[in-house]
Structure 1
Amino acid sequence: MTTATTKAAARTGRGRRERLAYLPYLIPGLLLFTGVIGVPFLMNIYTSLTEWQGVGTPKWIGLANYSELFKDGEFWASFQHNALIIVGMAIIPTALGLVLAALLTDLIDRHFGPRVASVLRACIYMPQVLPIVIGGIVWSWLLAPDNGAVNELLKAVGLGSLAHDWLGDPNTALYSVVGVMVWIQVGFPLVVFMSGLQRVEPSLYEAAEIDGASWARRFWHVTVPQIRPEIFVVLLWTTIAALKVFGPIYVLTKGGPGGATNVPSYYSYTNFFDKTDVGYGSAIATVLTLIIVALTVVFLRFQGRDLEEDR
């Protein structure tokens, strides 16, 4: 065996030992994941294969719940509503947060100082730290048909004809919820993007500015390419949050009016607790979980491919 081969084997063995040294530190997390996520998920899958009202002995019915689920028009309608929720919780906040982060970093920070930028960032992020119940109740007051602040403001500026029961009309309820979700969600991408922009070399902006690039060009050709990893992370995180959204729907509309704002997570909840059809509710939850896992895998593969192309 040559000296080079011996050294390579030694490095391989040392690397393997170093990796094995980390294993004891992963055990607590693995046990926690198994107990909190793995076991309940397997139990949920089993329950979805039964007919059960939450008490007594579950009756095994195989894939009957799934067969019924895929023929359930209300279930598919809830996914259509969820698509619009994704727009309000993922796409719009990500785009808006990216623009705001670039404005605060590239303009406000440079011209008015970091303290002003920090105050504005904190104000925009504040809805993220508010309990969703408080935020939902406040918005239900603002959007109330009688004496709600939004309708009163419209009347005050001469647009009283636009006053509306925003959350009580099936034609506007879902769009009203989406608007509230944009307000709640935009702070998260803003903070992530502003953090990501801290690692961008200021010389890139200075060089672009010297070359006569406008703010829009600096944003598109410097900011966006430099923080693509953060964009992937934010889109993944917010899309998952949108798919499993429950609190805002429960507080604002409870899936109404007439199911106009029903989403899969809330539909599962109503089957669990209102209809006491635990097996069917479990089937909805299982399908939603598998969709989220599949979407996560797709996002991570796209992100990995993007990073490999950059190398």
Structure 2
Amino acid sequence: MRTDRKVAYLPYLAPGLVLFTGVIGIPFLMNIYTSFTEWPGVGTPEWVGLDNYAKLAEDGEFWASFRHNALVIVGMAIVPTVMGLVLAAALTDLIQRHFGPRVASVLRACLYLPQVLPIVIGGIVWSWLLAPDNGAVNELLEAAGLGSLAHDWLGDPSTALPSVLVVMVWIQIGFPLVVFMSGLQRVEPSLYEAAEMDGASWARRFWHITLPQIRPEIFVVLLWTTIAALKVFGPIYVLTKGGPGGATSVPSYYSYQNFFDKTEVGYGSAISTVLTLVIIALTVVFLRFQHRDLGEEER
């Protein structure tokens, strides 16, 4: 009976499978083939075997871009997840209960707004805010008597990446907030009320009720945001174009540079292939941890 049921699902899965094969599967296989060639983008690719990967292993810029990507994971996954958890719990357990669901909904919409803004628009606005001359951030520092702290935030290699990470936190925080607030809707309100009557503080209610109840949502958010951080491109392209001096370059942008700026399509394909394999491996690890955690919870 189970086999018949699975077979009955196949016609409904076929359109998605065809689309996946045409849009993702075939291009990925072509990308893998191209990574074993030397090709400027026109003419016939020349087979070079593992030369691109050998070059990749010794490429300092590539490894530097991966180190930057590790910091981007902090800015796009870890920090937004933690902040989203705290804000979702505060909006649900404090704001919504004391000021009503309308106020909580308005605040949620305000925090989610960066998610629906096009990356280009958000990036251009932040580049204006962080501009060294007449930028709003430097102007505010001047007005507050802290003019000595005014800086070329995106033009200095020591502050460019931290500045981009601030923008990424601003962009990303709305997604975990909405997911966690949705997850908290299935938590029994009487749990919070009973804990409050027993004298539990908000922090204790957050730690002993909120976190255990929304563990599945935490796994989903961490997986989704980590993948987004590994393949991030838009904010880097709009804000810094990988500069200054490669200080904000990440593998996806470094691959783009080799594809289009340097016309080293084979080498760019090798970079994107490695990045894809890293994302797949990380996804498998996340799913295994989630499956094991859910299995222990059921036992």
Name the CA distance, whole Å, in 2 between partners of 1:43 and 1:15.
Answer: 36
One-letter identity of the residue aligned with 2:292:
R
One-letter identity of the residue aligned with 1:91:
I
Deviations 1:21-72 (A, max 9, x none): 1111111111111111100000000000000000000000001000000110
Name the CA distance, whole Å, in 2 between partners of 1:22 and 1:251.
Answer: 43
What TM-score, normalized by structure 2, do the two folds share?
Answer: 0.99
Which secondary structure state, in structure 2, belongs to the residue aligned with residue 172 of structure 1? helix
Find out whether 1:136 has 2:112 as its counterpart: no
Q: Tell me how far 1:205 sits from its aligned partner.
A: 0.8
The gaps in structure 1 that reach 5 residues or longer are 1-13
The match for 1:160 among 147, 151, 157 is 147
Which secondary structure state, in structure 2, belongs to the residue aligned with residue 171 of structure 1? helix
One-letter identity of the residue aligned with 2:175:
F
Partner of 2:256: 269
Partner of 1:17: 4
Partner of 2:272: 285
Name the CA distance, whole Å, in 1 between partners of 2:255 and 2:274.
Answer: 10
Deviations 1:50-99 (A, max 9, x none): 00000000000001000000110000000000111110000000000000
The match for 1:40 among 9, 27, 34 is 27
Question: What is the number of equivalent residue pairs in this alignment?
Answer: 298
One-letter identity of the residue aligned with 2:148:
S
Q: What is the root-mean-square deviation of aligned Cα atoms in Å?
A: 0.5
Name the CA distance, whole Å, in 2 between partners of 1:139 and 1:79.
Answer: 24
Q: Tell me how far 1:15 sits from its aligned partner.
A: 2.4
Partner of 1:151: 138
Q: Tell me how far 1:228 sits from its aligned partner.
A: 0.4
One-letter identity of the residue aligned with 1:96:
M
Q: Tell me how far 1:208 sits from its aligned partner.
A: 1.0
Structure 1 residue runs of 4 or more that deviate by more than 3 Å after TM superposition? none
Partner of 2:102: 115
Name the CA distance, whole Å, in 2 between partners of 1:226 and 1:185.
Answer: 23
Partner of 2:234: 247
Name the CA distance, whole Å, in 2 between partners of 1:15 and 1:177.
Answer: 50
Find out whether 1:96 has 2:91 as its counterpart: no
One-letter identity of the residue aligned with 1:57:
T
What TM-score, normalized by structure 1, do the two folds share?
Answer: 0.95
Name the CA distance, whole Å, in 1 between partners of 2:253 and 2:6.
Answer: 43
Partner of 1:9: none
Q: Tell me how far 1:20 sits from its aligned partner.
A: 1.5
Name the CA distance, whole Å, in 2 between partners of 1:159 and 1:217.
Answer: 39
Name the CA distance, whole Å, in 2 between partners of 1:124 and 1:277.
Answer: 41
Find out whether 1:49 has 2:36 as its counterpart: yes
